[in-house]
Amino acid sequence: MTKDYFNPTGTNEREPLDREILFTDCKNTLYPEKYCEGVWGLRSLDNGIYSSLKFHTERGGDPDVWIDWIKHHPEVMSREDENYAIYR
């Protein structure tokens, strides 16, 4: 059941990395049959949390959800191109 919620298409068969994080404090995708819910991030070895639009979408995340999440979180710093974020 949990696998189906976060990966409704069932296309991603890999095991998640220990450092991957799925933020759920975001809007829901408008296309749950196509995208997983949440925003994907990665905890680095220096204990920072990083995310990028590419990283998020490669794991089945909705690009619109990632962009909205970045805009609504003042604790997130983004580069000028808005395709990379550092979570403080």
10-residue mean pLDDT profile of the chain (88 residues): values are 45 59 92 92 82 90 92 68 61
Note the pTM of the prediction, 2 decimals.
0.70
With contact defined as beta carbons under 8 Å apart, do 83 and 53 qualify?
A: yes
- Contacting residues for 18 by C-beta, under 8 A, at least 6 apart: none
- Residue ranges per domain, the chain? 2-83
pLDDT at position 43 is: 84
Write the burial class of residue 73 (CB in 10 Å: 0-12 exposed, 13-18 middle, 19+ buried). Answer: middle
State phi, psi for 52 to the nearest 5 degrees: -145, 160
